[in-house]
Amino acid sequence: MAPGAGEDAECAICRQYVHLAAVECDCCPGRRTCLRHAATLCECPPPRWRLAFRHALGELDALAADAAARVPAGADLSPNSRT
């Protein structure tokens, strides 16, 4: 099981769900804010912040798989081209 997988992701300030894009910082593990409230996350400089895309990466994977499935049958992109 991935640690933290069951956590609710909500902004520490406005309590809006931030499952698409949350801002985190190593100085305060478990604390997250939405992009709008990133400035109030902590006192670290913004380069220390981390964007946590909880679902977006999985969706990108799905998009990539979908795009691969749309490659025309005649276009052989794999090195193993024998049938």
Q: Give the residues lining the site for Zn ion (CB under 5 A).
A: 11, 13-14, 25, 27, 34, 37, 42, 44
Q: Which CB, 40 or 64, lies closer to Zn ion?
A: 40
Residue 37's nearest CA partner among 55, 26, 49, 29 is: 49
Q: Which CB, 9 or 11, lies closer to Zn ion?
A: 11
The CA distance from 55 to 40, in Å, is 23
- Supply the minimum distance, in Å, between the C-beta of residue 25 and Zn ion: 3
The beta strand positions in 1-83, using DSSP E, are 22-24, 50-52
Residue 6's nearest CA partner among 19, 25, 24 is: 19
- Supply the minimum distance, in Å, between the C-beta of residue 29 and Zn ion: 10
Q: Which CB, 19 or 81, lies closer to Zn ion?
A: 19
